[in-house]
Amino acid sequence: MGQSGYAGQPGHGGQPGHGAGPDSSPFGLPGQPPAKSRRKMWIILASVGGVLLLVVLGIVILVNVVGSATNQARGLADGFTKLVIAGETSKAYDEYLDPALQEQLSKEAFISGVESLEMDGSCKPAYNELTVDTENGIKAADIAGLITCDGKEVDLAYRFEGTDELKMTNIKLRPAA
**Across 16-30, 48-62, 137-151, least confident range:** 16-30
3-state SS assignment for residue 86:
coil
Per DSSP, what are the bridge partners of residue 125? 147
State percent of the chain over pLDDT 70. 77
- For residues 96 and 146, give the distance between their C-alpha atoms in angstroms, rounded to a whole number: 19
Contacts of 68 (CB under 8 A, 6+ apart): none
Does 92 fall in a domain? yes
Q: Answer yes or no: is pLDDT of 34 > 80.
A: no
Tally of domains in the chain: 1
Q: What is the pLDDT of residues 87-145, one digit of tens each?
A: 999 999 999 999 999 999 999 999 999 999 999 989 999 999 999 888 888 889 999 99
pTM for this model (two decimals): 0.63
Does 12 fall in a domain? no
Does 50 fall in a domain? yes
Contacts of 105 (CB under 8 A, 6+ apart): 97, 171
CATH code, domain with 162: 3.10.450
- For residues 115 and 71, give the distance between their C-alpha atoms in angstroms, rounded to a whole number: 28
- For residues 107 and 80, give the distance between their C-alpha atoms in angstroms, rounded to a whole number: 15
Does 30 fall in a domain? no
Does 10 fall in a domain? no
Does 47 fall in a domain? yes
- For residues 109 and 104, give the distance between their C-alpha atoms in angstroms, rounded to a whole number: 10
Q: Domain span at residue 71?
A: 39-175
